Amino acid sequence: MALKFLSDIGLPPPRVLAYGPKGSGKTSSLATLSKISMNGGLLMSEYGNLAPYFQRCKAIGVESLPQNRVLRVDTYLEILEALDYFAAEKIDWLGHDSLSADSKMFEVEQFPLGKAYGDNDSFSKWKLLADRLQEVCKRIKDGPWRFAVTVGLEEHEGSYASVFVHGRKSRLELTPWAFNGMAHFSRPTADKNGNSVHQLNFAPDGLWDVTCQFSTAEAIKNGPPDWYEIFKKAGRF
């Protein structure tokens, strides 16, 4: 068996998890992936409101590109089927909205009557939920797409923010291996004209869980949530 050294294969393709509060620009930021190339990509969504995505597509002039597709998925099996199908299509980018919605979907599938109802098999069901999240993230990580961005909501432990998924075990086991980039969306601020200003943070400051292992570029710190510009600064094209 031939050993593969990082010096031989280079940095791995970006697999980023970006999270933040509601209204921070997570969904709309995924529209900027459409600017990466003409080979197209996929937005896979379990989230109901995609209006911010389509509005951003129109604003940046990519709403009519037929190779950029949007797919609604409603079950775990539909997610796996979609990832397998588009892996064979060899698309350039994958946007995933969202990891938090995945975990909620899987929770409902395991506990259709709600967590409050007694269940003698609850431990195995929570483990299955964590296993399903790991499988989804593994397929995203291992897929042939050049870029993949997953978004999610945030949760707080004191003043520290991290991604929100149902089941603490799920979050602890997902983030170390599934993503080589983690970023935090700040709450939007207003400029002097009253327009919303969004910011995406890769630089750690002790308030959020972030990392950037897909690039050694100093430019990847904090700035507007434009994935095309972020990956361009990272030297990925």
Residues 6+ apart with CB under 8 A from 161: 19, 20, 154, 155, 184, 207, 208, 209
Range of the domain at 34: 19-173
- Asked if residue 148 lies in contact with residue 99, where contact means CB atoms within 8 angstroms, the answer is no
Rounded to two decimals, the pTM is: 0.89
157 occurs within a structural domain: yes
Peptide bond into 98 cis (omega under 30): yes
Q: How many domains does the chain have?
A: 1
pLDDT digits (tens, 9 = 90+) for 132-189: 999 999 999 999 999 999 999 999 888 788 888 876 656 656 656 789 999 999 988 8
Kindly compute the dihedral angle of the four CA atoms of residues 30, 33, 35, 38, in this order, to the nearest 10 degrees.
-130
Residue 208 maps to a domain: no
Which pair of tokens denotes residue 67? 């190779």
Is residue 168 situated within a structural domain?
yes
Residue 121 lies in a domain: yes
Residue 221 lies in a domain: no
pLDDT in tens, 62-89: 887 878 899 999 999 999 999 999 999 8
CATH number, residue 96: 3.40.50.300
Q: How confident is the model at residue 126 (pLDDT cuts 50, 70, 90)?
A: confident
Structural domain includes residue 199: no
d(CA 111, CA 88): 33
User: Is residue 74, in this structure, part of any structural domain at all?
Assistant: yes
Residues 6+ positions from 95 with CB-CB distance below 8 Å: 30, 33, 41, 42, 43, 44, 148, 149, 150, 151
Residue 96 lies in a domain: yes
